[in-house]
Amino acid sequence: MLTKTAIGNLSVEQQELLAQMECRKTQRRLKLLEQARGLDWRSRYFPIYAFFVFLVFVTAYYFNFLHLQEKSLVAFLPLGVVPVFALFAHNSRTNRRLDALLELLDFDREQPQMHGNAKDEQVG
């Protein structure tokens, strides 16, 4: 753990490297927080996947692809796959969020000063 005076005694290159390391740690923590909150791109775009599958079946029915208008039950059978897909996607998203929470917990145990518990004199 470095103090402000110890950092002031370092050369400019060493201070720059230290600043880059701290910046990487902060970016990693912010990425983990975003993933733990479910704000990553996979979580945001999931409804689009289900809507896309719905649009494919509506389009196939509308254009009578494979004579689906005569056999409408056949058109709705594949839609039963959508809830199963949604269940698996929800489970994987929950597991991803839990993994991010565990990594964040480990990260915060290693870096207790990152979230404001450190004194003003301690940096790094």
Residue-averaged pLDDT of the chain:
80
Whole-number pLDDT of residue 35: 87
Rounded distance between C-alpha atoms, residue 26 and residue 7, angstroms: 18
* pTM of the predicted model over 0.85: no
Please, how many CA atoms are within 13 Å of residue 18, restricted to the half-sphere of its CB?
A: 16
Q: In this predicted structure, which of 2-11, 30-39, 49-58 has the lowest mean pLDDT? A: 49-58
Nearest to 106 by CA among 42, 41, 28: 28
Beta strands in 28-104 (DSSP E): none
Q: In this predicted structure, which of 7-11, 25-29, 37-41, 47-51 has the lowest mean pLDDT? A: 47-51
Residue type, 83: P
Q: What is the mean pLDDT of residues 4-26?
A: 91
